[in-house]
Amino acid sequence: MLTKVHTGLQSVPGVWWKPAHKAEKIWVSIAFAWCIVLFAMMPLWHWKGGQNPSGVRTRVDPKAYYARTVAFASRYKVGEDRGLPIVQPPAGADVYLVGLTFQWYPILKLEQGKEYMLHLSSLDVNHGFSLYPLNVNFAVVPSFDYALRVTPTAAGDFRIICNEFCGIGHHTMVGRVIVVDSTGRSVADNSTAIIGHGGAQ
């Protein structure tokens, strides 16, 4: 017995041309309404909930941004950790951090309770700025300088994890932010933690 073959010339079996069942209409409506709720939450979270902060975005040449970051690092350098400068800018300063395959440059040393203008950008490809163990995530995109007003609320030795797959060394792309309290001490100075190395310098 031959298997029945369907071609585009014959209508397919089924009832797809009949109007949708009432239950289907209800479920599609519920899904659509929920989409609208979630969509509305995006701006609402900005005003209430402390999420989706709006930063200052400007276009920037990646090489110029990198040069700016290197100049910033050499100006406020206070130490070194495995080849990377530890940089301590004064309160209120513009702070530059650059993501590059596969490193965060430089290491930042900030003071708890002081406000800074944190600039984020990339030299090469998209990276993800994820401040561990806090729930802070930002896209780091080449050609865009994304600046945020930040005030560290807790002293400690924090890690920046890259959360955007950026290549073969993505998993090694770990940076460091040290937040000291008013006495100049970070709560846990974990000097043996692994910091990513490599990439263009």
Binding site for ligand CUA (CB under 6 A): 99, 102, 127, 162, 164-166, 170, 173
SS3 62: helix
188, containing H or E segment: none
Which one, 39 or 165, has the nearer CB to ligand CUA? 165
Which one, 145 or 164, has the nearer CB to ligand CUA? 164
Which one, 38 or 168, has the nearer CB to ligand CUA? 168
Rounded Cα distance between 29 and 5, Å, is 36
Q: How far is the CB of 113 from ligand CUA (least distance, A)?
A: 30
Rounded Cα distance between 53 and 42, Å, is 10
Which one, 41 or 139, has the nearer CB to ligand CUA? 139
Q: How far is the CB of 77 from ligand CUA (least distance, A)?
A: 23
Q: How far is the CB of 124 from ligand CUA (least distance, A)?
A: 9
Q: How far is the CB of 164 from ligand CUA (least distance, A)?
A: 5
Q: How far is the CB of 32 from ligand CUA (least distance, A)?
A: 35
Which one, 68 or 127, has the nearer CB to ligand CUA? 127
Q: 């929920």: which residue's tokens? A: 34
Contact predicate 87/63, CB 8 Å: no
CB within 8 Å of 173: residues ≥ 6 apart:
99, 101, 102, 103, 104, 127, 161, 162, 166, 196
50, containing H or E segment: none
